[in-house]
Amino acid sequence: MEKLIIPKGFKTTKQRKAILEVLEECKTPVHAEDIYLKLKEKGIDISLSTIYRNLDMLQKQGLVVKAYMIGEDKARFGLSSKKNYLICQKCKKIVIIDNCPFEKFKEELIEVHGFDILDHSIEVYGICPECKKSKNC
């Protein structure tokens, strides 16, 4: 697991550490309910509302990102180090983009719009190779 540090002023609780560990284990963003079930499997007693509260705090501190996939009514959560995705609109498969193309675009946005860009996330929607091969596409 990569070294994830809770920002100064926030306690590193067992619950926060466990949530971050689950997110590190997951290859793609997951629903809070998935985190809840994985923690239950590990024998960690935690309520769903506690998970949401901690995810909110971790998101505000920049450790976790919240993503809304097209066609879903619930948010997914992932580590901020895994925040750029390709998402299949048919099967909902999510692929993390490791080599982020944003840096080239960032300079243009700063020049044209004058924004100080603090952070970003990229969600690109399409059809994955497996779905393109299927007859349902």
Q: For residue 8, tell me if it sits in a domain.
A: no
Q: pLDDT tens track of the chain, all 137 residues? A: 445 555 556 677 888 889 999 998 887 788 999 999 999 999 999 999 999 999 998 888 878 888 777 777 888 898 877 767 777 878 777 777 777 777 778 888 888 998 888 777 777 888 888 888 886 54
pLDDT of residue 68: 79
The residues facing 66 across adjacent strands are: 77
pLDDT of residue 71: 74
Q: For residue 20, tell me if it sits in a domain.
A: yes
Stated pTM of the model: 0.66
Q: How many angstroms separate the CA atoms of 64 and 121, rounded?
A: 11
Q: For residue 7, tell me if it sits in a domain.
A: no
Q: For residue 111, tell me if it sits in a domain.
A: yes
Tokens 């306690």 found at: 11
Enclosing domain of residue 38: 14-130
